Amino acid sequence: MNGDHPGLDPDNPETWIDPPPGTDEARAKQRQNGNGNGRAPASSPHEIDTSILRLNGRSPPPFPLAIFGAAWWGWICNAANAACCPVDYVAAPLLATASALIGNARWAQAWPGWEEPPHIWLASVGESGNGKSPGANTMFDKIVPELDRRMIGDFPERHAAWKAATDIAAAREAAWKETVKKAAQSKQAEPSRPGDLETGDEPQEPRLTMIDATHERVAAVLATAAPKGVLMLRDELAGFLLGMNAYNDAARAFWLEAWNGRPYRVDRVKNARPLRVRHNAVAWFGGIQPERLAEVMAQPDDGLLARFVWCWPDRGEFAEPSTVPDTEFALRALDRLRGLGMRRDGDGPAVPVIVSLATDARRRLVEFGQEMQRRGDLAAGLFKSTIGKARGLALRTALVLELLWWCGRDRDDERPAVISDAAMEAATLWVRDYVMPMADRTFGDAACSQEDRNATTLARWIAQERPSDVHVRRMQREVRLAGLRAAAPIRTACAALVEAGWLLEGTTHAGTARNRVAWPVNPALWGLLDK
């Protein structure tokens, strides 16, 4: 793989996407190739199925880091190592941030009539302690706040000037009203209202990110201070997804439209003039726990969840980090994206610069779209909706990757004028080999039955605590795992682990009060878990 331009070797297209041997990504890919996507129950107590540790057994696909190019690949690996988290939890915030920084300055065009904004919505899924927050903090602790600070620019001075002009206009209007009053009393001609009393709407502070805001507030910022778009951040994404209509029934419709970048208008009673957003497009990044995602998925499918890319890797092994990310490199590179401007013709409004696909890239997108169309014919539910967004997501991602390669070269190259075939190949590979299988895993695992969740919870407890057997009464009185605090679900979970080979058939011991039921742990389990 070339360090400056991660193109593909047409004679051996798989070589550049394989992660380095011995890394967590490589081991994940080996697990994926060995396990498949289903859980095969053990046919005897000696055939142990460890996939039960992953709910319904789908292995997460490895993140193909080579799509980022050598410079960003190394930065992501170092950042993930320093944060002690899977690389997915660093790569996802980077993609979301880059897409927002590019924003409406550049739109990708497959051909005339099909344009896409670059904004991408991503969510990190995982239980508490899996590294979601440390991974995101690599981007949002130092880099994004500094970019936000730079975006402010001379806003304090401009706001102060507006405030002074507003105060002067208010004083002049008050004086004019007093003059009108005196003229009326003396029956003289009333003076005309001064024509320079309008100072316009209060300027909004330029910003890259917004966290907890109503859709009307977001619309106001998009209309005035952030025409390129913003990056919406929610550490607990479930709260937003479940409560977006709490204050206004129009909120969900706004967010659905905030994916496409079309014009949007907000009519407000308190303001005679409506808010006009020329390009309603935002990027999204948030974190969510599997249990909360199951709640979100219970809502009717209107396409909102299909707009997100879900990143749910296996938990990595906690260890002392050996590297640190180069924060200055990331800040310098991303600041180049921040500097991309929209196009303005004369006195007209600012509009995106259109970046078209190269001929080979267009052909590749068509082939990919046809492939996704065939897959969609066989899919259903949320996964079908996700496949429906695949070709648009690939087009957006190709633009983001092209510009990430450009800014990561850290030299004064000309800005990309087209989206190359290499960028489109990288984007389609990511969507096909990561986004789609990860969505399948996420929607499948989040929709697991409570019985499956209980079995996985018990298996994880056994793997961590290493008990010699499982006692129903001890589980009730001392351990008290979520979902496993009554005898019936404990017995059902134990039966599932017997089928998976983790436990041997239960034994009943007569006691003075109640019979004591225990399931011995299969001794062969420990050697398998220690590998």
- Over residues 223-275, the pLDDT tens digits come to 888 899 999 999 889 988 888 766 677 788 899 999 999 998 877 645 667 77
Domain match, 467 and 351 both: no
Measure the CA–CA gap between 113 and 368, rounded to whole angstroms. Answer: 19
Q: Is residue 180 part of a domain?
A: no
Last residue of a domain, one of 432, 447, 462: 447
Same domain, 511 and 373: no
Task: Tell me: do 104 and 140 sit in the same domain.
Answer: yes
Residue 103 lies in a domain: yes
Q: Which residue in 494, 524, 523 sits closest to 506, CA to CA?
A: 494
Give the pLDDT confidence score for residue 15 in this predicted structure.
39
Per-residue pLDDT reduced to its tens digit, 59-95: 899 999 999 999 999 999 999 999 999 999 999 999 9
Assign 450 a pLDDT band (cuts: 50, 70, 90).
confident
User: Residue 356 sits in a domain of what CATH number?
Assistant: 3.40.50
Residues 227, 81 share a domain:
yes
Asked if 421 and 361 touch (Cβ cutoff 8 Å), the reply is: yes
DSSP structure class, residue 509:
E
DSSP code, position 43: S
Give all strands (DSSP E) within 429-475, no chain letters: 469-471
Q: Which residues pair with 286 in a beta bridge?
A: 123, 234
Nearest alpha carbon to residue 35 among 15, 52, 17: 52
Determine phi and psi for 311, rounding to 5 degrees: -120, 105
User: Are 390 and 463 part of one and the same domain?
Assistant: no
Residue 272: the pLDDT is 61
Residue 23 has pLDDT above 90, yes or no: no
Q: Which of 405, 342, 397 has its CA nearest to residue 104? A: 342
The number of domains in the chain is: 2
The angle at the Cα of 338, spanning 337 to 342, to the nearest 5 degrees, equals 90
| Domain match, 239 and 259 both | yes
**Which residue, among 44, 60, 36, has the nearest Cα to 433 in the 3D structure?**
60
**Domain finish residue from 447, 471, 496:** 447
Claim to verify: residue 284 and residue 386 sit in the same structural domain:
yes
**Secondary structure letter of residue 430 according to DSSP:** H
Average pLDDT, the chain: 84
Radius of gyration of the chain (CA): 28
Please state the pTM of the whole predicted model: 0.76
Answer yes or no: do 471 and 438 share one domain: no
pLDDT surpasses 80 at 125? yes
Residue 459 is predicted with a pLDDT of 94
**Domain that includes residue 115, residue range:** 65-155+205-313+332-447
Is the per-residue pLDDT at 287 higher than 80?
A: yes
Instruction: Tell me: do 211 and 268 sit in the same domain.
Output: yes
Residue 235, SS3 per DSSP: coil
Distances in whole angstroms, Cα of residue 281 to Cα of each of 101, 254, 405, 431: 12, 10, 23, 21
4 or 209: whose pLDDT is higher?
Answer: 209
Query: What string of DSSP letters covers 474-491?
Result: HIIIII-BTTBSSHHHHH
Burial call 80-106: b when 16+ CB within 10 Å, e when fewer? bbbbebbbbbbbbbbbbbbbbbbbbbb
Would you say how long the chain is, in residues?
531
Domain end residue (candidates: 447, 462, 482): 447
Are residues 365 and 243 part of one domain?
Answer: yes
Query: What's the pLDDT tens digit per position in 351-376?
Result: 999 999 999 999 999 999 999 999 99
